[in-house]
Amino acid sequence: MPPPAHAAASRPAIVAPAVGQTMSQASKDAIAEHALGLLEEQIQARIVHYKAELETNPELDAITAQVVAQLRQMQAHMGGGSTGRSKEQLEAIVAQQERTLVTLLRKLFPEGAPSLVIEKRIKQILRGLARLFFQSELHERTRGTETTKVIQHGEQAMFYLLSRYHHRMLNELNNFDYISEEIRERSHELLQKLTKDMQDGFLARRSSELKRIVAAFSAVLVDFVAKQIPAVVTDLARDLVRASTGAEGKAYSYKIVQSAFPSFRATFERQVMTRLVSFAEDELVRRLADTAGTSRDETVKFISNPEVFSTILGELGGGTYEYLCNEGFLDLPPEWVGQPAA
């Protein structure tokens, strides 16, 4: 669940490191916690949207409830739902789940190079980061802060000015007397074109920085999924199985049931997020922000933006859950099956 509202006030501030220094652990923790909160908000919004689209009626609900009850009776009769297991039986289920998960995670995150599943997700991540970069460049204030961007280009200043007073200028245009409606519409088109030209000119000047950022993120993400995660697969699998309580209640040695998915997901996302931020921040600072320059502050703001990391983990998590589901190890809720990442 997302952190309570009062948590934001007590959350440590994200402090940009000085040239030649790494980001503090407190700042990394702040980024990770904020990013996890953003990801949870995105996921909950998607679930609400999914449920809102479901069309049900009392007759269909009654039929569904009857089928579910019959399935539960069959499972109980076959012993799949028994909770009267000995300690040794429970430990055996946990051990088998861990072994299976280790095997699958090693296939998904092989050492040396990304798997095809993860490679596809990295491409999606890089496209998402490009969108976030342009969005951050086009806004005078970074999300979650009152710090105003420093103007680096004339087109940037003009775009901000035209955007800030867009509605006022439209009102002024509408107050003029025109010889025809066609001329009125043309004046509106010219204002839109001028704003768009300034936007395009500004973004064109920042395209080289975007290329540099995307290249750095690509290299860092490949190192993370092909070196960092493979090194901790055994520990990660153990934590996921034990935290998801996948061997309690209705449990199977070969899979994690749907009811255990929320705990499984929460553990995966926290474990991966903390490792991702800890590793990636140092690498990104070293590659992108370890030299002084006029654009350094803007670059540091972007690579320490929690939304960047919620985007990354949304894709990595979605790819992982989908893969484990397809392999028969993880039962996903209906709203997760066939859905895009958050």
Per residue in 63-115, pLDDT (tens digit) is 566 665 655 565 555 444 445 667 788 888 889 999 999 999 999 999 999 99
pLDDT at 134: 82
Answer whether residue 153 shows pLDDT above 90. no
Over residues 311-322, the mean pLDDT reads: 96
CA 95 distance to own-chain centroid: 31
E strands, the chain, in order: none
What is the C-alpha to C-alpha distance for residues 296 and 269, in angstroms, rounded to an integer? 30
Residue pair 178/138 in contact by the 8 Å Cβ criterion? no
pLDDT at 143: 45
* Residue 214 C-beta-side C-alpha neighbours within 13 Å: 19
Which of 70-84, 246-260, 301-315, 318-332 has the least mean pLDDT? Answer: 70-84
Q: Count other Cβ atoms within 10 Å, centred on residue 61.
A: 10
Task: Share the mean pLDDT of the chain.
Answer: 83
CA dihedral 90, 94, 99, 104 (to 10 degrees): 130
Answer whether residue 7 shows pLDDT above 50. no
Q: What is the CA radius of gyration of the chain?
A: 25
Q: Count other Cβ atoms within 10 Å, centred on residue 217.
A: 24
pLDDT at 3: 45
What is the C-alpha to C-alpha distance for residues 274 and 166, in angstroms, rounded to an integer? 42
Answer whether residue 141 shows pLDDT above 60. no
pLDDT band of 254, cuts 50, 70, 90: confident
Q: pLDDT above 90 covers what percent of the chain?
A: 48
What is the C-alpha to C-alpha distance for residues 342 and 319, in angstroms, rounded to an integer? 11
Q: pLDDT above 70 covers what percent of the chain?
A: 77
* Residue for token pair 């979605």: 318
